[in-house]
Amino acid sequence: MSYAPPEENTLGVIIGSKSRRREADATRRVIRAATPRRASLGTGFIGIGAAVVSGLVAIYGFVWFVSYLSEYPHPLYPSLAWALLITTLLATFIYSRVIGDQLPNWAFALYGLGLAGTVALDLYGIWPLHNVGHFATASIAAGVSLVLVITLRRSWDVVISAALLGAALVAAMFFDNRGGIDVLAPQITTLALATIPAMVGVFTVAGFRRLVQVELDRVLVQSTVSAPRF
């Protein structure tokens, strides 16, 4: 009776010198299957809520965009800004949900470029009106849409993105302001609407994660202490 070496190990991975490529593929499948893909600590539900908030703000801003359409000197550029923003939001939301509540670096970079293009087109279209705070619509929605990724990216990624957006709006308001102090109130309101939601979302998610992690640690310690001894 002759001995035949096994064709696979206990993990179902094919072994043998002639099957190293298949072995590597099988190993990757096993590791990928054992890796959690969904957001932990219930932050996925916060992400869904953030997506709903982004959608509502986008609808609100789009209504204002339609009402200002006749006043825009170049309505094509704000229209392109809204088209780019909607495409970016839908693509990011669908992709992040498909791959399991994640957003890789390259996808986040594309998301940032989409938001930057939205702000640039919106500001270019309303620049001749000399009142960014009053006529900016897609730029505000782009800032609020950062809450869409607060559960998918690190806190600093969102904070830096919001800060860059705020800096761009401040620069535009400074160089394109011919109304003086009379337009100061809408400028401040626009800046706050575009930046504060993302900041609040970051601190909310960070606090939620810290709270849940502490409670999980307490439950683990309590279960260890109160475990029966034999």
DSSP 14: B
Tokens of 221: 């310690």
Average pLDDT over residues 3-7: 56
Share the mean pLDDT of the chain: 79
Q: What is the DSSP string of 159-199?
A: HHHHHHHHHHHHHHHHHT--SGGGGHHHHHHHHHHHHHHHH
Handedness of CA 183, 56, 171, 167 (dihedral sign): positive
Q: What is the 3-state secondary structure (H, E, C) of 99-116?
A: CCCCCCHHHHHHHHHHHH
197, with CB counted inside 10 A (0-12, 13-18, 19+), is buried
Read off the pLDDT of residues 38-86 as tens digits, 9 standing for 90 and up. 455 556 667 677 778 888 888 888 999 999 988 898 899 999 999 999 9
- CA distance to 50, 59, 82, 114, 131, per residue, from 63 (Å): 20, 6, 11, 21, 18
Can you tell me the distance from the alpha carbon of 215 to that of 195, in angstroms, rounded to the nearest whole number?
Answer: 31
Query: Which of 8-12, 23-27, 89-93, 139-143 is predicted with the least confidence, judged by mean pLDDT?
Result: 8-12
Can you tell me the distance from the alpha carbon of 178 to that of 127, in angstroms, rounded to the nearest whole number?
Answer: 11
